[in-house]
Amino acid sequence: MHQSSQNRKTFKTVVGLLLTLLIGCSALPDQTETRSGEVLIIYSGNALGELKPCGCDKEEDQGGIERRMGYLKQVNAQESNTLLVDLGDNFKESTRQGKLKAQTMMKALERMNYDAITLGDKDLLYGNGFLKDLPNIPWVAANLQLEGFALPPSRTKVLANGLRVLVIAVADPDLFYASSDSNMKLNDPMTALQQEIDAARKNEPPDLVVLLTHMPREKGIAFLDLSGVDIVINGHIEKDSDRIDMAPVQKTGKIFVQPGPLGQKMGELRVHINPDGEKTFQQRMVRLGSKAPMDPEMTQLYDAYNGEVEKLFMATLAAKRKQKQNRIFATDQTCLTCHAKEHGVWSKTGHSRAYAALREVNKSFDPECLTCHTTGFGKPGGFISEIDTPKLKNVQCEVCHGPRLEHAQNPQGGFAKEALAACGKCHVKKHSPKFDFGQYWPRIRH
């Protein structure tokens, strides 16, 4: 492979030289030269349906579609030779809310005008039909075959500066068979890739070949060795808490990069191609933090999603109200009658205002937030809604001490220690990355 391209280059050079000798210096047709120039590749991925960060922690308050679009508009105002790609795993869970998120995410990506988006194993959660109904997404996948839905194996973008960029995508079959049962077939990635590269070279050879891989990091890096591939961008995430190594790996004239988790940062890879066809790279991650501009169009899209979540919440209330639930929680007001000292301490902590924090961001109907900001949401006898169970708002005593109606009626001890194990249910990495029992407990000790 490498050999034949090498030969053709040499051949072109020889022909070029002869032509120069024959007809003088300036009359060389363009395509016999290697084009030089610059391209800015912007890459994202691993979003897992994260439309907007929850805001539980300031440091983790990064990413979201509003900031992503704000960032992209800024870049587009300054750069004319860009390639925008996404590495997949945009969806997360096969719930109705998960599907709402997936739909919103795809609408967002559509408006962001991506050049190529490949599919991760998570993106098959709602089946082929769901993907087929998204006609404006620039899918690319060379070794993935979905029943009833043909995916383009590659895409070519010709930039304003004339550079031809070929984008191909391959996925790791092992990942897909492990996590999906939709109607699909995966071929060997290497064979599919080779075919695409060969086909492209037969037509008009690209100036840059960008390979999108969806696989574990090490497997993606291995594709750097393949002749004809200049850049490998790899994505894949299992769960929210995954740490992803965003450090690039360079080999002569080639580079491997990965987007981070949850769409928190955007990858920027600036590629410079000199007249000899030699490539050099500059890479950086751009944090979409609280100072990043919020795009109003995306805010609208997010608000529409929020509205749908509220409707879904209201629709489930009727069923929950019908279920007669036994009372098991006494509520903090009952504990207060005998534990005034502890109650006094608690009422000065954030735990006693956790529900208000949701109201402030218009999220008091989102089950994904209520689980940690109320008492017993989703459990029998626990919080249902502000109207149904006004006394179970906030992170109350019984979140940590367990349902204690019986204890309140007939006080007996022996369960205090159990509360020590409660913190980890809510103070998880994504929502409380700085949590350390030794530092947090003194702030709420009672």
Q: What beta strand segments (E) does 77-199 contain?
A: 82-86, 116-117, 144-146, 154-158, 164-171, 184-186
**Lookup result for tokens 């949850």:** 262
Identify which range of 54-62, 105-113, 136-144, 175-183 contacts ligand HEC by CB under 6 A: 54-62
Under the criterion CB under 6 A, does residue 239 sit at the interface with ligand HEC? no
In degrees, rounded to 5, the angle at the alpha carbon of residue 350 between the alpha carbons of residues 345 and 351 is: 75
Under the criterion CB under 6 A, does residue 349 sit at the interface with ligand HEC? yes
Contact with ligand HEC (CB under 6 A) among 42, 56, 108, 142: 56
Identify which range of 28-36, 227-235, 239-247, 356-364 contacts ligand HEC by CB under 6 A: 356-364
Burial category of 251 from C-beta neighbours within 10 Å (exposed 0-12, middle 13-18, buried 19 and up): exposed
Tell the smallest beta-carbon distance from residue 184 to ligand HEC (Å). Answer: 32
Tell the smallest beta-carbon distance from residue 392 to ligand HEC (Å). Answer: 11
Our CB check for ligand HEC shows the closer of 171 and 335 to be 335
Identify which range of 19-27, 38-46, 162-170, 333-341 contacts ligand HEC by CB under 6 A: 333-341
Contact with ligand HEC (CB under 6 A) among 40, 42, 51, 54: 54
Q: How far apart are CA 376 and CA 395, in angstroms?
A: 9
Q: Please, which of residues 410-429 interact with ligand HEC by CB under 6 A?
A: 411-417, 419-420, 422-423, 425-428
Tell the smallest beta-carbon distance from residue 114 to ligand HEC (Å). Answer: 25
In degrees, rounded to 5, the angle at the alpha carbon of residue 81 between the alpha carbons of residues 224 and 209 is: 20
Contact with ligand HEC (CB under 6 A) among 366, 382, 385, 392: 366
Identify which range of 110-118, 171-179, 306-314, 339-347 contacts ligand HEC by CB under 6 A: 339-347
Identify which range of 21-29, 231-239, 308-316, 363-371 contacts ligand HEC by CB under 6 A: 363-371
Q: How far apart are CA 210 and CA 155, in angstroms?
A: 10
Tell the smallest beta-carbon distance from residue 362 to ligand HEC (Å). Answer: 9
Our CB check for ligand HEC shows the closer of 134 and 419 to be 419
Under the criterion CB under 6 A, does residue 342 sit at the interface with ligand HEC? yes
Tell the smallest beta-carbon distance from residue 246 to ligand HEC (Å). Answer: 24
Question: What's the Rg (C-alpha) of the chain?
Answer: 27
Under the criterion CB under 6 A, does residue 339 sit at the interface with ligand HEC? yes
Cross-sheet strand order for the sheet of 249-251: 154-158, 164-171, 208-214, 231-235, 254-257, 249-251
**Hey, what amino acid is at 398?**
E
Under the criterion CB under 6 A, does residue 281 sit at the interface with ligand HEC? no
Our CB check for ligand HEC shows the closer of 213 and 331 to be 331
Please, which residues have CB within 8 angstroms of residue 67's CB and are 6 or more apart in sequence? 288, 289, 292, 293, 294, 295
Instruction: Count other Cβ atoms within 10 Å, centred on residue 444.
Output: 16
Q: How far is CA 113 from CA 82, 108, 147, in A?
A: 11, 9, 26
Q: How far apart are CA 166 and CA 186, in angstroms?
A: 21
Please, which residues have CB within 8 angstroms of residue 120's CB and are 6 or more apart in sequence? 45, 46, 87, 88, 89, 90, 171, 175, 214, 235, 236, 237
Under the criterion CB under 6 A, does residue 47 sit at the interface with ligand HEC? no
Tell the smallest beta-carbon distance from residue 291 to ligand HEC (Å). Answer: 18
Q: How far apart are CA 133 and CA 114, in angstroms?
A: 17
Contact with ligand HEC (CB under 6 A) among 118, 332, 364, 389: 332
Among residues 434, 402, 396, which one has the least CA distance to residue 417? Answer: 402
Contact with ligand HEC (CB under 6 A) among 335, 364, 383, 389: 335
Say if residues 424 and 418 touch (Cβ distance below 8 Å). Answer: no
Tell the smallest beta-carbon distance from residue 353 to ligand HEC (Å). Answer: 5
Under the criterion CB under 6 A, does residue 328 sit at the interface with ligand HEC? no
Among residues 147, 149, 148, 195, which one has the least CA distance to residue 170? Answer: 195
Our CB check for ligand HEC shows the closer of 61 and 79 to be 61
Residues engaged in binding ligand HEC (CB under 6 A): 54-57, 330, 332, 334-335, 337-339, 342-343, 346, 349-351, 353-354, 357-358, 361, 363, 366, 368-369, 371-373, 395, 397-401, 404, 407-408, 411-417, 419-420, 422-423, 425-428, 431-432, 434-435, 437, 440-441, 443-444, 446
